[in-house]
Structure 1
Amino acid sequence: MRDLYRGLAVVTAVAVVTVTLVMLLPSRPDEVAARPVAAPSTVPTSSVPTASGLTASPSASSEPSVTPSPVDSAAAAAPQATPTPGPSLAPGYTAMEALYADPRVPKLPKKVARLKMTKPGRGVVKDRRTGLVVPRLGRPWKAHQAAPFTSKQVLPLKRGSNQRGMLVTCPLPIEEQKSARDTALLAARWTLNHHPEGGRIRWQVSQPIKGGWLLTYLVRYGKHVSRAAVVVLDGGMAKPGLAFVTVPESQRNRWRDITRVVSGVRVLG
């Protein structure tokens, strides 16, 4: 009996050791040591484009991130292409870019004729809001209600026509530029609002004057044309003053008055 008890004790001890080893050892050979917990990924939770063009979703694992190819990196670093200016411009274009993109206004040639000035006459109109003086044109010109301008003279309408000559002054209605010439170009473009729809400019004269710039030009609309001029001049006010004159071909016998006007515009002294 004593030998039987000893045998049972040995079997029991072996079983206890076996169970203990099973509990302590990992279930698979490669799990000898506990794996460290991976740190949270610093990649945003949104999907990340890969070099292959596919989309990879970031995870909290320690797997290496995908590095973009040099081509992709260069494309990302390259500046966005600027759209070509056109009649409809995206926000952000300057006033001069808008001018050069307007098909109605051709680029001013490097060589443009200069105007031979004439005597403007004695009569003047003093515009104290612009600080300018313009000639008072004789009959058939006559003073007219100025609004929305600050002074206005007009020719009578001819039968069968809704176009007539006018001479107006006002504070500069467009953004002043560093160059007086550029300011005058923008002003000429603005005057197309006061010509028939579809008008296109053809430059005639461009020259500096004391304190400003002078332009004369033709405005062609359909089969008809008007002759016009703008003078931008610093009259000592918050904004430069603008003198604008236009005469349609139906009153072409008064085109000579345009030279009188641009010859006589001056600062109110």
Structure 2
Amino acid sequence: MTEGGGNPAGHDRPRQPFIRSYDAPTTPMPRVRPEDLRTSPPVTPPPGAAPAPARGAGRRAGDLPLRLFYTVVAAVGAIIAVALVFLVFSGDKPGHVAPVHQAQAGATGPASPTPSVSPTPAPVALPKVPASYKYLPVYPGQGTSVVSYVLDKKAGISYPKFGKPWKTADPAPFALAQRAGPARLPQALIGSGPLPGAAPGTLSTYRDYRKLAAKAARWTLRHQPPGGKLTWTASQPVRRGMGWLLGYKVSYVSGGVKHSSQAIVAVVGTGRTRPAMLFATVPDDRKELLHDLNMLFWTARPISA
């Protein structure tokens, strides 16, 4: 190639002058302002060019914006991870759930407090029987009229049968019984029968009968309200035959109020293997019956078989 700008040998194109690149004329770059970018007119394709496709039309997966593509990939990954967790732990079964947890889960309100258990009253303590005589007090009033006499042939003892409000009652655990008022503690009750328990053996002195009377008094506490306090009111021989009588007062609380009952227990020798026992108790809400205790003591006597 010659510097004047001719065609190389063998070329038949017309000669054109050769211009160096640094000598070529340049076109200055147009100045672009920010407002021109916002309001720039749409680009008109050159003549004969294919029209640009409409926005969003025929867009393939490869044409999606990069942010949308990553979002789709993350969602698919999360779904796959959850599915894998269920597959791995699907064989696990929950362990045993304590009933208290189940009850709390299904409860619609606050759990009911556990009912407190009332303490069991302590049994009535039996103090030592007085060594000296203690005579039964004579209670005021006329007492109940005597309508006949009870003949307890099973026990071998006789004593008065009172009129109203006394009436014949279910004898168990006695052989015969009378009751005034309802059959609940505290109650007005008269009962007789053979001395409970094993046969005591030979009884020859008042001291022997006094020991038996103390055991009989302890047995009668089942017919008194629990949790009371006992004090002796009498300790003396029976008036007829061989035997011993004990009187006691038991104090207790009923319905939140302090009450008491007066009682007598007599053990009477009958010549049988076991002596007879006579028991009577009157609560303080039936004071008009207290004199009946004196009548029982005065008239009880052994009978022959």
- Residue of structure 2 aligned with 1:155, choices 172, 175, 180: 180
Taking the aligned partners of 2:293 and 2:131, their CA distance within structure 1 comes to 23
SS at match of 1:105: coil
Alignment partner, residue 83 of structure 1: none
Map 1:109-124 to 2 at 5 A.
109-115=130-136, 121=146, 123-124=148-149
Alignment partner, residue 135 of structure 1: 160
- Residue of structure 1 aligned with 2:284, choices 242, 249, 258: 249
The 8 Å contact of residues 185 and 225 in structure 2, kept in 1 or not, is answered as: no
Taking the aligned partners of 1:140 and 1:121, their CA distance within structure 2 comes to 12
Aligned length: 166
Deviations 1:169-204 (A, max 9, x none): 011013537500000011011111111111332101
Map 1:1-269 to 2 at 5 A.
104-115=125-136, 121=146, 123-157=148-182, 162-175=185-198, 176=200, 178=203, 179-209=208-238, 210-222=241-253, 223-269=258-304
Taking the aligned partners of 1:149 and 1:162, their CA distance within structure 2 comes to 17
Task: Return closer, same or farther for 1:162/1:113 CA change in 2, 3 Å cut-off.
Answer: closer
The 8 Å contact of residues 164 and 251 in structure 1, kept in 2 or not, is answered as: no
Taking the aligned partners of 2:159 and 2:135, their CA distance within structure 1 comes to 20
Deviation at 1:125, TM superposition (A): 0.5
Give the unaligned 5+ runs of structure 2. Answer: 1-122
> What is the one-letter code of the residue matched to 1:184?
A
> Larger Rg: 1 or 2?
2
> What is the one-letter code of the residue matched to 1:193?
R
Taking the aligned partners of 2:228 and 2:158, their CA distance within structure 1 comes to 29
The percentage of counterpart residues that share the same residue type is 34
Give the unaligned 5+ runs of structure 1. Answer: 1-101
The 8 Å contact of residues 265 and 280 in structure 2, kept in 1 or not, is answered as: yes
The 8 Å contact of residues 206 and 213 in structure 1, kept in 2 or not, is answered as: yes
